[in-house]
Each structure stands twice: as structure tokens, then as C-alpha cells.
Amino acid sequence: MATSPTFTRARSQEAKQLRMNEILEAARTLGIEHGVGSVSLTDIANAAGMHKSALLRYFETREQIFLILTASAWREWADELVDRLERSAITTLPAIADTLAESLGRRPFFCDLVAHAALSLERHVSLEAIRIFKFTALDATHAVATALQNRAALTRQQAVDVITTAINMAGALQQTATPSSEILSRYRSEPALRHMTSDITPRLSSILEGLLTGFVGKGDSATGQPLT
């Protein structure tokens, strides 16, 4: 990752936005290739072709950069999932669980980001940066919750809880499935540990199906309706 010697500070608002997009794209590429936790501010600056001090004219910290990427990824995931749920005839709980799990399993970078969000990315940033992130995530979550309620007999809180569980578990499972190369080698050499690095989708689907079944069964029991 070589540093470009031709960096020029952006002057106009349009040029500044272009420069910010370049920095975000550099961070996205590095995060996908090396993992969010392994990427430093210097790495991002080098990839964007600027000195770290110049990068700090555009963003507060590396955490802010990745928090912005998390919000963007959250919105993209929600938009795609809502469209899929609205266009499909999915009604059974196993199918809903599979759809949720598969939508996250196909987005390992998003899973990596959300795993780091509360742990580190919400630190070392301004309250305004956190506020923007939280409201973006909240809006996206409620959009998915509405689509989910149209497919299953869930209360609003239950739908939100299913989504929150899906995202948090996907983040946690993704960290386990993508350890450092040294740990990965050890996992693969031990038969009892090989499952740790497998696709997270089936396990996540099983967890979500159990949660959905519990919520729907609880609702039917409370209203005296027969379980289906």
C-alpha cells in the first residue's frame, strides 16, 4: 500500500466530498481484505494516497470512518432484505429464518463491521457521529421489522428483537469463522474445531428459527389460538 506523492487538498465542497468518498472506499477495501480490526488510520491514509494528518481534515478518527461504513452497509442490507421479503411468498418460519440468515451470510463485511460497532467504533467519535449512526441503524431496523411483521405473527418488539439477534449473532459468528491465519490453521488441524470456520448461515438460521418459533408460539398461547 504505497503512498501517493501527488496528494492535493480538496478546496471546493464537491472536491471535499469526492476526497471523503475516496477515503471511505479505501477503508472499505482494506476492511474487506484484512478485517476491520486490523486496519489502522495510517493504512487508510496510505491507501487513499495521503498523509494521516491530511486525512484527519476529513474525518475525526478511523472509528468514524468505519462507523459511517457500518451505517451505509446496514442501510444497504435492509433495503435489499425488505425488497426480497416484499416480493416473495415466504410465510413459513423456517423460510423466514433462512432468508434472514442468508442475507447476512452473504455480507461478511457488514457482519464484521457490526461486531466492532459497539465494541470499538462508537468510541473515539463525537456524539453527533454516534447519533447519525444510531438513527440510520434504527430506521433500517424498523423497515425490516415492518416487512417481517407482514410475514409472521410478531409484535413490533418481537420483530425488532429478531432482527437485533440476527445482526448481533451474525457479527459474533463471523468473528469466530474468520480468525487470524495462525488460529485458523489450528482450527483446521483439529477435527473437533473445524466447524468453527464453516459458513455461518446454517447455524444462524437454526438460531433464528428457534427464536421465531418461540415468539409465535408465545403469541398463540397468549391468545388461546392453536399452534401451527
In whole angstroms, how far apart are CA 101 and each of 46, 112, 138, 153, 221? 35, 15, 19, 19, 27
Residue 1 within a domain: no
Query: Among positive and negative, which fits the CA dihedral 150, 151, 152, 157?
Result: negative
Residue 211 within a domain: yes
Residues 6+ apart with CB under 8 A from 159: 144, 145, 146, 148, 149, 152
- Do both 24 and 126 map to the same domain? no
Out of 59, 74, 103, pick the residue that ends a domain.
Answer: 59
- Do both 147 and 82 map to the same domain? yes
- Do both 107 and 206 map to the same domain? yes
- Do both 39 and 152 map to the same domain? no
Residue 228 within a domain: no
Domain limits for position 96: 62-223
Per-residue pLDDT tens, the chain, 228 aa: give them: 444 444 555 567 888 999 999 999 999 999 999 999 999 999 999 999 999 999 999 999 999 999 999 999 999 999 999 999 999 888 899 999 999 999 999 999 999 999 999 899 999 999 999 999 999 999 999 999 999 999 999 999 999 999 999 999 999 999 887 765 666 666 666 666 555 556 899 999 999 999 999 999 876 544 333 333
- Do both 163 and 189 map to the same domain? yes
- Do both 109 and 218 map to the same domain? yes
Q: What pTM value is reported for the model?
A: 0.84
- Do both 27 and 140 map to the same domain? no
Residue 203 within a domain: yes
Query: Could you tell me the three cell numbers for 114?
Result: 457490526
Residue 16 within a domain: yes
- Do both 100 and 206 map to the same domain? yes
> Per the structure, how many domains does the chain have?
2
